[in-house]
Chains A and B, each alone.
Chain A
Amino acid sequence: GQNIDQPTEMTATEGAIVQINCTYQTSGFNGLFWYQQHAGEAPTFLSYNVLDGLEEKGRFSSFLSRSKGYSYLLLKELQMKDSASYLCAVRDSNYQLIWGAGTKLIIKP
C-alpha cells in the first residue's frame, strides 16, 4: 500500500531552527508538497519539489531525495506564528495526492 510517515508532534523554541521529516512509499512519484495548516484554518501551500535537492523560500526550505523516498521541511528563525500543523503529500503515478497525517509544531518562547 501507499504510505506517508511524518512525526506526530514536534516542539521548538522561538528563534531556533526545526526540521520536519517526511518519508514516503508510493506507487510512482510525481512531486511532493508541503502545506501549513493553522488550527481551524485551511491548509495553505508552502512548497513543491519534483527534482532532488533543496528549494529555498525565505525562512522555509524543502528538500527532496527521490532515491531515499525522503523529504524535509526546514524552518529557520522560528516565530510564534509558525505554530501549526505541517502536511506532507506525494502525488503518485495516477496523479493522486497521498497525504501524511501531519506534524503539529509547537513553538515555545
Chain B
Amino acid sequence: ETGVTQTPRHLVMGMTNKKSLKCEQHLGHNAMYWYKQSAKKPLELMFVYNFKEQTENNSVPSRFSPECPNSSHLFLHLHTLQPEDSALYLCASSQERGGGETQYFGPGTRLLVL
C-alpha cells in the first residue's frame, strides 16, 4: 500500500461504546496529525505527533485519546462520545512538524455517534 491509509472507513457507535480509529502512513514521514472535518466548517486540528512525541493538543475533550506507537502508526481511541462528535476524522502526515512541509491525507473515517 502507498500513501496514508485509515481504517475503518465508516463507523457507527453508541454513546457508551469504545472504539479506535487507525491510521498508517507509508511515506517515511515523522509527523502525524488528527483532524476533525464537519460539514461546511474548516478542518479542526486535534492532535500532532512529531517523532512519536505529542506536540499539540488543541483543547480536545478527553473522550478522544490519541496514541502513536511509532512514526508510521497513529490511533485515535474513542469513548463515551456525543452525537456532536459525528464527523469525518482525517489523518495526515508530513516529513516533520514545522518548516515547509506539505501534509498528505488519508481518506478519513466517517463517524456517526447515535
- Contact residues of A with B, CB < 8 Å? 4, 8, 30-31, 33, 35, 40-45, 48, 50, 87, 89, 95-102
Does B4 sit within 8 A of A, measured CB to CB?
Answer: yes
- When distances are taken between beta carbons in the complex, the residues of chain B under 8 Å from A100 are 42
Q: What mask results when residues 83 to 114 of chain B are scored 1 for a CB within 8 Å of chain A, else 0?
A: 00000001000000111101111111010000
Query: Chain B interface secondary structure, helix, strand, loop or mixed?
Result: loop
- When distances are taken between beta carbons in the complex, the residues of chain A under 8 Å from B107 are 40-42
A99 with B43: CB separation less than 8 A: yes
In the complex, what residue of chain A is closest to B103 when comparing beta carbons? A97
Which 6 pairs, one residue from A and one from B, show the smallest C-beta to C-beta distance? Answer: A99-B42, A42-B105, A99-B43, A42-B107, A95-B98, A43-B105
Q: What mask results when residues 22 to 53 of chain B are scored 1 for a CB within 8 Å of chain A, else 0?
A: 00000000000000000011110100000000
Query: Chain A interface secondary structure, helix, strand, loop or mixed?
Result: loop
Q: How many residues of B contact A (CB 8 A)?
A: 19
B35: shortest Cβ distance to chain A, in Å?
8
Q: Roughly how many angstroms separate A45 CA and B95 CA in the complex, as a whole number? A: 14
Given A50-B100, A100-B42, output 5 extra A-B contacts at Cβ < 8 Å. A33-B102, A42-B4, A43-B90, A95-B97, A97-B103
A-B contact pairs, 28 of them (CB 8 A): A4-B42, A8-B40, A31-B100, A33-B102, A40-B107, A40-B108, A42-B4, A42-B90, A42-B105, A42-B106, A42-B108, A43-B90, A43-B105, A44-B105, A45-B103, A48-B100, A48-B102, A50-B100, A87-B43, A89-B43, A95-B97, A95-B98, A95-B99, A98-B42, A99-B42, A99-B43, A101-B41, A101-B42
